[in-house]
A and B are shown apart, each in its own frame.
Chain A
Amino acid sequence: MPEAVVDLEIQLLLEALYQRYHYDFRHYARASIKRRLVQARDQLAFPTISAMQDRVLHDPSMLPRLLDYLTVQVSEMFRDPSYFRALRESVLPHLKTYPSLKVWIAGSSTGEEVYSLAILFREEGLYDRTLFYATDINPEALAAAEAGVYPLDRIRKFTENHQKSGGRSSLSDYYTAAYGRAVFDKTLRERVVFSDHSLVTDAVFAEMHLISCRNVMIYFDRPLQDRAIGLFHDSLARKGFLGLGSKESLRFSAHAGGFSDFVPGEKIYQRREP
């Protein structure tokens, strides 16, 4: 089939998802979306993407399966340990001066970053005064994040990352291993609100001291990145912090002037006050 036809099918499917279910992927970076939709088509055994569109339009039970292809990111706990080390050493000392804190993990997917930050804040004595917001557009990913259960074979990497991040405790203090799975301690999510929120269509909902949004905006096109960064700027308290993925940058953004580099190598920015 000519590629131009596949591209058209993708455009129509994304429009259908938006009009029928208000999931808006129309401004997602197209090359990755295409890979994922072609993979969904092949694995779910549809002859064409149009056939997949027909099904999802008429059968809402198809939507979650498609959303898994379009949104789910498998991450690691303490991915890029130096980022967490920088938060620990450079950002948390500032946050300690506040009586209460709000932290937003935007695009929390299956929760690895949520538990990483909860453990970091507990180790640094800030957990009890912090409220964490973990948001995602995929309800199944949010449920998985809330459950906090990960395959045991991933724990070795999580543990290694945690130690490299300067962890003051043992990761094994925070989970129970059973039947090949690690179940994370529910007290880690006592102060976490899991919530459906879209960086594409939703607005500011609280005033944050730290926003961590890593490897989420690489999936957005430039205008959508600008919308999300503007939303983060407006959601941050005075001199609040924004952490991005190690290969992301505000350099090309329309909002670059609204932030200063706080820990440049680690992509940690601070809201700049006029």
Chain B
Amino acid sequence: MPGAGFLRLTDAIYETYIGVSMTIVWAGLSLGAVYALVALCLNITLSNTGIFNFAQPHFLMLGGFVGFELQSRWGMPLLLILIVCGILGGFVGYLEERLAIRPLGTHRGHAVLVTTVGFAVALEGAIIVYWSTDPYPFKLMASTQALDLLGGRVLPVDLVLIVLAISVMALLVLAQRTKWGLAGTAATLDSDVARLRGINVERVTTGAFIAAGALAAALGPVVGSKIGINHTIGNNLVVLTFAALAVGGFGSYVGCVLGGLITGLLQLATTYAFGDEWPLIILLAFLLAVLLLRPTGILGARSLRSV
């Protein structure tokens, strides 16, 4: 019967292309969610202090290692792992601000690039000393069964990452509208004027580093169960997260997620379409195109301030 043949044909097309494509979309979104989460953490210090903290992905790496330790050796439950990682990350964030930022004074210039990179190296060194350079397999979630969702298949951990990226973004957008968030924005735009208006800029800066450190470290175990744990995660994440931020727009939390998801999707879709030698080239070409058309990124600040 022609009708049955047509149905078989449409089934075949669905199975071959749409089903597979949706699975790649989920995988791309999941990878993009990793970039988005790191970008969100980076954006906390960026939008509240104007500092691009190169050590931020290393907090995530630290959280991954600590989470692995707490799970494998101490058998700690997930919630407690996340809390402990968050507290530790907050403390290390505080240390970074006191050791690598505060001594530079109010007119830091490009010195923060050097000191935050230095802190990243120190953090990585400490991790190597304690955990060595061995990679660790890490599964935070017991279930590894793929789920059928919207015509594709997705692993539970992938789904958690996507939901987490959107949830964290929403929380940060709300936080930006609080007194603390507004103070951070004011301090970033002009710290001298902010001081005149009674804002304690130093406290805002310290708070931003503590919050970003705590969030990144708490996310470490979740991200680690997707990408594994090893001492190179921090450096590896910096490059593509920077690309995600540039695409989405520096300073915008929604832009972080948008840029991250686009980066992840583009990476896996181009691998599928052209093979594994092309994604980075295409990604960089896309980044250049975005920056040429919108130098501030898709959702970055839309006007430049003239002084």
Binding between chains A and B: no
**Chain B residues engaging chain A, CB cutoff 8 angstroms:** none
**Chain A residues engaging chain B, CB cutoff 8 angstroms:** none
